[in-house]
Amino acid sequence: MVITDNILIIDFGSQFTQLIARKIRELNVYSRIYPHTYPLEEILKINPKGIILSGGPMSVYDENAPHIPVELLETGIPILGICYGLQLTCKLLGGKVSPASSREYGKAILSKISESELLANVPGESVVWMSHGDHVEELPAGFNLTASTPDTHFCCIENKSKNIYGVQFHPEVYHTESGKDILKNFVYGICSCTGNWLPEYFIDTEIKEIKSLVGEKKAICALSGGVDSTVAAVLINKAIGDKLTCVHIDNGLMRKNESETVVKKFRDVFNLNVIYIDAKDLFLNRLAGVTEPEKKRKIIGNTFIEVFEREAKKIEGAEFLVQGTLYPDVIESVPVKGASVTIKTHHNVGGLPEKMNLKLIEPLRELFKDEVRNAGRKLGIDEEFLMRHPFPGPGLAVRIPGEITREKIDILQQADEIYINTLIEKGVYDEIWQAFAVLLPVQSVGVMGDARTYEFVLALRAVNSVDGMTADWYRFDYDILAEISNKIINNVKGVNRVVYDISSKPPATIEWE
């Protein structure tokens, strides 16, 4: 895809780097993240309208601290340094950075000192979010101070002749009251972006490129039933029509009646050519007796590849493979040396055997989840489907710690259905980013009627998040939790105790395995 109006983000390892990219895209401006090691000559080839230097966990004076060539700061391209990015800019240009007398985390009051295009429409005083241990002690020559906080004097700085700006706080986080205005001032006022990153633009350009790429050949798509693979399939179908064949593999680890419902919808509503493969017995037989989480994931992934490869060979003339890979998948799966680290291996980034000789089409790999949903709306996919909560690639396998059996899957499917349906009935489903049940490998004593029971414990999980990188547990009304618990215990044989998980990410992950 050719993008002429873009902001380049250089990553120094901040937990908020993805959030910077998302916030810029919410302003209808394309942004992309690159490692701090990305060569200067390649950056110049991209010809970005502006560059944002992210925060990071290190000190600019640490051994092996990430850095950039000072020549980047002399290009005239508008630059905004955030936290570490501000400190590194000052250090490279001759300023002085030193450890702060006290580390500053959380909210602070920003006071404007002078007028600045970066701070246009920002109140004289506003709340900003801090997360730093060092601070700028002396500014480089040519820089001016535009705003301070009680504990950070050089909080906002600028050098208009060099087109360089810096903030010690994080404008990309929700807690910074005027953060969106500051980013908007940078990309529109300072970088002169036009705001042409829209769903319609993405869809039109992708369809043209896919048509040109595929021509009269054929493509296949592994269709899970999730939002990502569905939007990818519908988009590809718009481009090449019946030259696309979708394969849905039922691994027995889906939600209750999921495969049957999904396949019917794909065929009847989306008019997709779908092959349904019932592989439940194969997956469950291979998972028998396995308890180690990563081993379960590998069995599921390898078995999926085996089944999919077998079916793909039956489709004569198929030369392309469609995957619903998203931009966060790409970022998390490619470690940035000296900064961000790979958190986990993603099921849908690579992984299929090279001997398949299929060329990969990943039409969504530049999009975040909310952008996928926006594209789906423009493609005519219904809102109820688009707003479904995320579902993991390995399915219920990561929600059944310990050995997986048909009995456990049946119990979890029933409980999860009750849980989700109750959230919908109570009107809170759309308030939650992801909700699901986990069947624990723990049994507890209970009393049902006059009989003593010894049955499974079920954990409920509900979190809110922007992109899954961080998450906080959802604060339920206790009456809703009580109703869900009663329904599950009264209707699902095998469960006599329900608990609610109130762990945030970090330190916990969203899924249990």
For the residues of 479-505, what is the DSSP string, one character each? HHHHHHHHHHHHHSTTEEEEEE----B
Distance of CA 413 to the CA centre of its chain: 26
Q: Whole-structure pTM over 0.85, yes or no?
A: no
Could you read off the pLDDT of 194-240 as tens digits, one per residue? 998 888 888 998 999 999 999 989 999 988 888 898 999 999 999 99
Whether 102 has a pLDDT exceeding 70, the answer reads no
396: left (phi over 0), alpha (psi -120 to 50) or beta: alpha
Is the peptide bond preceding residue 390 cis, with omega within 30 degrees of 0?
Answer: no
- Nearest Cα to 339, choosing from 111, 54, 148, 71? 54
- With bands split at pLDDT 50, 70 and 90, how would you rate the model's confidence at 245? very high
Q: Annotated catalytic sites, by residue?
A: 83, 170, 172
The answer to whether the Cα torsion of 384, 29, 130, 54 is positive or negative is: positive
Please tell me the distance from the alpha carbon of residue 193 to that of residue 153, in angstroms, as a whole number: 31
Alpha helices in 397-510 (DSSP H): 406-425, 478-491
| Residue 369, pLDDT score | 85
Tell me which residue of 322, 305, 308 sits closest to 232, measured CA to CA. Answer: 322
Mean pLDDT computed over 79-93 = 96
Please provide the average confidence, as pLDDT, over all residues in the chain: 89
155: tokens are: 């909080």
Q: What is the mean pLDDT of residues 58-67?
A: 89
State yes or no: pLDDT of 355 exceeds 90: no
Q: For 290-302, what is the mean pLDDT?
A: 92
pLDDT at 351 over 50: no
Residue 85: helix, strand or coil by DSSP?
A: helix
The mean pLDDT of 319-344, rounded to a whole number, is 59
Q: In which band, very low, low, confident or very high, does the pLDDT at 339 lie, cut at 50, 70 and 90?
A: very low
- Residue 133: pLDDT over 90: no
- pLDDT score recorded for residue 365: 86
Return the exposure string of 187-199: e unless at least 16 CB atoms fall within 10 Å of the residue's CB, then b: bbebbebeeebeb
pLDDT tens digits, one per residue of 16-55: 898 899 899 999 999 999 999 999 999 999 999 999 999 9
pLDDT bucket at 62, cuts 50 / 70 / 90: confident
Between CA 12 and CA 345 the distance in angstroms is 21
- Chain length of the chain: 513
pLDDT at 454: 82
Using DSSP's 3-state secondary structure scheme, residue 455 falls into strand
pLDDT of 174 > 60? The answer is yes
CB neighbours of 162 closer than 8 A, spacing ≥ 6? 73, 74, 76, 142
